[in-house]
Amino acid sequence: MARLLHNLLLLSVWLALKLRLLGYWSFVYGYCALCTATALLRLWWNILLRPSSTFQWSVRETPPSCLSDTSLGTHCYVRIKESGLRFHYVAAGERGKPLMLFLHGFPEFWFSWRHQLREFKSEFRVVAVDMRGYGESDLPPSTEWYRLDYLVTDVKDIVEYLGYNRCFLVGHDWGGIIAWLCAIHYPEMVAKLVVLNSPHPCVFTDYALRHPSQMLKSSYFFFFQLPRFPELMLSINDFKALKSLFTSRSTGIGRKGRWLTTEELEAYLYALSQPGALTASLNYFRNVFSFLPLSQSEVRSPVLLLWGERDAFLEQDMSEACRLYIRNHFRLNIISGASHWLQQDQPDIVNTLIWTFLKEGEGRKNYRN
């Protein structure tokens, strides 16, 4: 009798887990279908209003001059032996100085750190990487190439290739997610961690599942699961959606700070219009539900978290919750009026806060190799 009850209990638990999993994926794909229907309505509306220009877009063949600005640093390339991928990065500052490594988000590339490259090259070896699938780095076509463990290993391999075993790691958006995971999995590698508008992965997962408002703000995660259609929607009308992402009043750069110049916007369109570039960047999202297992989620490095007050994609409440996962010094700064792209629209404030954080506690000299 006891064995029968035991087996019934196990069966009940197994069924509950299966139903929970079924419910989760039903929600994911149901929400994806809703986002698709909304996008189709927008596409239909565009066709009605501007039928001749809806499906027009062009590959930018000539890079704007701002991408070759020598004050930002030197363009370099590295091929990682283990993955076989070639990475592009821009580096400035003297070799041998402490390494400050910058990881960009979606849909950006190394250029999003232009203000920080100029600012910190006086005392650091500053390196802004094109992450795999972006810019001049290799663009693997398969979704499987964008697993989180691969992205984290890329950072470790690049640090080692540059001749360092420790770095000051700075990440924004998707780059922030990778930076958090690097600090968790390779704590000895991260001297100090600076994250901009990207919550700890555990905070984001827990918060999004419990707050419908954040789930709505993250609806693009579900829409991007579709093959090909998101690429179409982002590129129609000569990349109108991407332009709006950076320039609109609700999501764009510079409501209170700096605006993107026409040339800077063209730099983004140049990078994203290259063959395969949009698909590669969207593959980050298409692999997001294959979570990287965390045997432990605590961060032992000192952490600075900077948060744009008017981020259109992330709830501000998540920023404070990150404190639960930090086992070292933690500083949180909410920047008034800053957007999701805060290192670009409020670079002076961001740079000042990073300098203050870097000078706290142990001196920079202790992190030389």
d(CA 366, CA 248): 43
Q: How many Cβ atoms sit within 10 Å of the Cβ of residue 111? A: 23
d(CA 115, CA 128): 11
Would you say residue 255 lies in a domain?
no
Measure the CA dihedral 95/97/98/101, to 10°: -40
**What confidence score (pLDDT) does residue 363 get?**
46
Residue 141, domain CATH: 3.40.50.1820
d(CA 29, CA 237): 28
Secondary structure class of 88 (helix, strand, coil): strand
Boundaries of domain holding 313? 65-211+285-360
Secondary structure class of 216 (helix, strand, coil): helix
Reply yes or no on whether the pLDDT at 12 is more than 90: no
d(CA 328, CA 322): 12
Secondary structure class of 217 (helix, strand, coil): helix
Would you say residue 170 lies in a domain?
yes
Would you say residue 47 lies in a domain?
no
Would you say residue 187 lies in a domain?
yes
Reply yes or no on whether the pLDDT at 48 is more than 80: no
Query: In DSSP terms, which residues pair with 330 in a beta bridge?
Result: 303
CA 275 remoteness from chain centre: 21
Is residue 309 within 8 Å of 335, Cβ to Cβ? yes
**What confidence score (pLDDT) does residue 89 get?**
98
pLDDT per residue as tens digits for the range 86-126: 999 999 999 999 999 999 999 999 999 999 999 999 999 99
d(CA 168, CA 100): 5
Q: What is the domain count for the chain? A: 1
**What confidence score (pLDDT) does residue 215 get?**
82
Question: pLDDT grade, residue 61 (50/70/90)?
Answer: confident
Q: Is 249 buried (19+), middle (13-18) or exposed (0-12) by CB count in 10 A?
A: exposed
* Arithmetic mean of pLDDT, 13-20: 68
* Arithmetic mean of pLDDT, 159-169: 96
Is residue 321 within 8 Å of 203, Cβ to Cβ? yes
pLDDT per residue as tens digits for the range 118-134: 999 999 999 999 999 99
pLDDT per residue as tens digits for the range 319-363: 999 999 999 999 999 999 899 999 999 999 999 999 999 998 754
* Arithmetic mean of pLDDT, 69-85: 94
Q: How many Cβ atoms sit within 10 Å of the Cβ of residue 162? A: 18
**What confidence score (pLDDT) does residue 364 get?**
45
Would you say residue 173 lies in a domain?
yes
Is residue 169 within 8 Å of 183, Cβ to Cβ? yes
Q: What is the mean pLDDT of the chain?
A: 87
Quick one: which of 327, 305, 301 has its CA closest to 314?
305
Is residue 198 within 8 Å of 342, Cβ to Cβ? no
Phi, psi dihedral angles at 16 (to 5 degrees): -60, -40
d(CA 338, CA 253): 8
d(CA 167, CA 108): 22
Q: Detail the DSSP E strand segments found in 173-271.
A: 190-196
What are the CB-based long-range contacts (under 8 Å, 24+) for 260-268? 260/344, 261/66, 263/64, 263/65, 263/66, 264/64, 264/66, 264/111, 266/60, 266/64, 267/63, 267/64, 267/66, 267/67, 267/111, 268/107, 268/108, 268/109, 268/111, 268/242
Q: Give the least confident one: 141-145, 307-311, 364-368.
A: 364-368
How many degrees, rounded to 5, is the angle at CA 346 between CA 341 and CA 351?
A: 105
Maximum Cα interatomic distance, the chain, rounded to a whole number of Å: 79
Query: In b/e form, how buried is each residue of 297-310, taking b as 16+ CB within 10 angstroms?
Result: eebebbbbbbbbeb
Q: Is 150 buried (19+), middle (13-18) or exposed (0-12) by CB count in 10 A?
A: middle
Distances, alpha carbon 141 to alpha carbons 153, 173, 178, 278, 365, in Å: 19, 22, 20, 10, 42
Of all residues in the chain, what percent are helix, strand and coil, respectively (each to 5)?
50, 15, 35
Secondary structure class of 307 (helix, strand, coil): strand
